[in-house]
Structure 1
Amino acid sequence: MRKIIAATFISLDGIMQAPGGPDEDPTGGFEHGGWVFPHSDEETGKALFELFENPFDLLLGRKTYDIFAAFWPYVESDDPIAKRFNSVTKYVATRSDVELKWNGSQSLGKDVVAAIKELKAGEGPDLLIQGSGDLIQTLLRHELIDEFKLMIFPVVLGGGKKLFADGAIPAAMKLLRTQSSPTGVIFATYQPDGLVKTGSFVGPNPSEEEIERRKWLR
């Protein structure tokens, strides 16, 4: 069985839109494209290389696929990330019949969820999601993501496409690993850990003031 891993750049307020550059994805009037670049350092680069060390295939939404297909095949062949991305299989969630020209690309077909479930149940390397916010929302609704590798940048963007958008299914998360870089980037790996657990510090005997306060909230 293969794991599905969402490896995502996010801001402190959970935005994942256009981390790589101003022209990457300006849809919705997003004006802060390229917010990752100022925080690049040796530790951030090392974390990225570690992410791509183990065998993987890419799982991409069509918008991210188009961004990658217009960039990675044209990067110098000795670049280690380009070398990996250009050689692995790219599974693409797309409604279009336009040919996927990037070497090793395959459409997931009309029933994306069924195709991904079949891939997940089969043999092969882990399926690594890069970007692909719309695809991530679909996978979250079907509880198909096994692990989140987040690079959390010290910036608040105020709006844009979120990793956990409105309508995300509530879930607890277990922290597997964390570290940070000198520029303030936090690298955190989580896995889903069942239902959200709740409790109360008030106890079973709230004060009359507390009871009255609650009435105003209804």
Structure 2
Amino acid sequence: MGTISVFESVTLDGVLQSVGRPDEDTRGGFRHGGWGEGYADEVIGRFAGASMGRTTAMLLGHRTYDDLLGHWTSVPEPNPFTRALLNQDKYVASRDAGAELAHPNSTLLSGEAAETVAALKRDVEGVITVLGSGELVRSLHAAGLVDEYALLIHPIVLGSGTRLFGDADRGDLVLRESVTSTTGVVMARYQTD
């Protein structure tokens, strides 16, 4: 049986929208894209590397899959992510049974995420890491399918944008690890109750 680990960069007020690039996700008129620039350091690199090193498979929403792989497969080589992303087993949650997946090692999970991901957890051993995919994460959280959250909490407040948990019900978490980067990013690993 697998475990679901959500790995997210968020602001202090919980925004996860468009961390990497200004044009990454402008839905709802979001104008703060690329807010994560300038925070990377070696401490974050080690935390992210350790998290991704435990990953058996990735789980992504269809929009995040298209954006993430579309971006990294268009960035000139060498870069540290393209080969790793392409070689990793990827499961893509989509309500569209006809959704096309353009990259190797990709499997479509069509239907309602709570059902398809519950089956995935039963069938795949190891850590299944979710990147981005806010709508998917909120659905999995509501269904009690997330086992851990690895959060990179940036010292910035945006006041608008899509938040990680939205209007979710209370969920108690247990802190298992925390470290702070030289740029003030708090990296915390929480287990669900």
Q: TM-score range by the shorter chain?
A: over 0.9
| 1:1-218 pair list within 5 angstroms | 1-75=1-75, 78-96=78-96, 97-166=98-167, 168-193=168-193
Instruction: Give CA deviations for 1:126-146 in whole Å, capped at 9, x if unaligned.
Output: 110000000011101101000
Q: Which has the larger radius of gyration?
A: 1
- TM-score normalised by the chain length of structure 1: 0.83
Flag the structure with higher strand content.
Answer: 2
Could you say what secondary structure the match of 1:3 adopts? strand
| Paired AA for residue 141 in structure 1 | A
| Paired AA for residue 192 in structure 1 | T
86-95 or 126-135: bigger deviation: 86-95
Give unmatched runs, 5+ long, in structure 1. 194-218
Q: State the percentage of identical aligned residues.
A: 36
Greater RCO, CA 8 A, separation 6+:
2
Could you say what secondary structure the match of 2:50 adopts? helix
Could you say what secondary structure the match of 1:189 adopts? strand
- What CA distance in whole angstroms lies between the structure 1 residues aligned with 2:99 and 2:189? 35
Q: Is the 8 A contact 1:93 1:108 kept in 2?
A: yes
Structure 1 residue 98 displacement after superposition: 3.5
- TM-score normalised by the chain length of structure 2: 0.93
Give unmatched runs, 5+ long, in structure 2. none
Q: Is the 8 A contact 1:92 1:105 kept in 2?
A: yes
Could you say what secondary structure the match of 1:108 adopts? strand
Q: Is the 8 A contact 1:49 1:81 kept in 2?
A: no
| Count of aligned residue pairs for this structure pair | 192
Q: Is the 8 A contact 2:113 2:136 kept in 1?
A: no
Partner of 1:216: none
Instruction: Give CA deviations for 1:14-58 in whole Å, capped at 9, x if unaligned.
Output: 111000010000110111111111212222222222221123211
| Paired AA for residue 63 in structure 1 | R
- What CA distance in whole angstroms lies between the structure 2 residues aligned with 1:52 and 1:173? 21
Cα root mean square deviation, aligned: 1.5
Could you say what secondary structure the match of 2:2 adopts? coil
Structure 1 residue 79 displacement after superposition: 3.4
